[in-house]
Amino acid sequence: MTTHADAGTAPPGTAKALRVHVYGIVQGVGFRPFVYRLATGLRLRGDVHNAGGHVVVRVTGAPADVDTFVTRLGTEAPCQSVVSRVTVTELIGADRPDTAFTISASHDEPAGHRGLPPDLATCDTAGW
């Protein structure tokens, strides 16, 4: 028997959905793959994309798992990244993602401050 917990979804009406903007040095440092691994590990649905110098995540799932996801974005981010600010907005209606988590193509949005990472060496210790 498959339950909502087994399928990685919360029962209807109990799922939490958020749009999360992550600012800082979060592009060119493996941040989107990190977000993907974190979200799929927590069995969340949604997507992540680069947008004008920051990263945007839409995520849906059990409230406790979504809260854990937001906390871990800052505490477990790749060592090459620097998360300077995270903003969170609740999603309602059609904006709520309800598909398997994906990494989406970058979106053109007005650029804010773009944090630039230092040159990174390719090695096994990169943590990717």
The token duo for 10 is 């919360």
- Domains contained in the chain, number: 1
Question: Is the pLDDT higher at 120 or at 66?
Answer: 66
Q: What angle do CA 59, 100, 63 make, to 5 degrees?
A: 35
Residues 6+ apart with CB under 8 A from 98: 45, 60
pLDDT at 106: 86
Over residues 14-58, the pLDDT tens digits come to 899 999 999 999 998 999 999 999 999 999 999 999 998 899 999
Closest CA to 51 of 113, 101, 89, 108: 108
* DSSP assignment letter at 100: B
pLDDT at 1: 29
- Residues 16, 86: Cα–Cα separation, whole Å: 17
Residue 35 lies in a domain: yes
Helix or strand run (H / E) with residue 70? helix 63-75
Total-model pTM: 0.77
Residue 3 lies in a domain: no
Residue 111 lies in a domain: no
- Among the residue ranges 59-63, 71-75, 118-122, the one predicted with the least confidence is 118-122
Using a pLDDT cut of 70, give the percent of the chain over it: 73
Q: What three-state secondary structure class fits 50? A: strand
The token duo for 88 is 């969170």
Residue 67 lies in a domain: yes
Residue 104 lies in a domain: no
Residue 58's domain comprises 10-89
Residue 98 lies in a domain: no
Residue 24 lies in a domain: yes
Residue 79 lies in a domain: yes
Identify the CATH number of the domain in which residue 77 sits.
3.30.70.100
Other Cβ atoms less than 10 A from the Cβ of 71: the count is 11
pLDDT at 4: 34
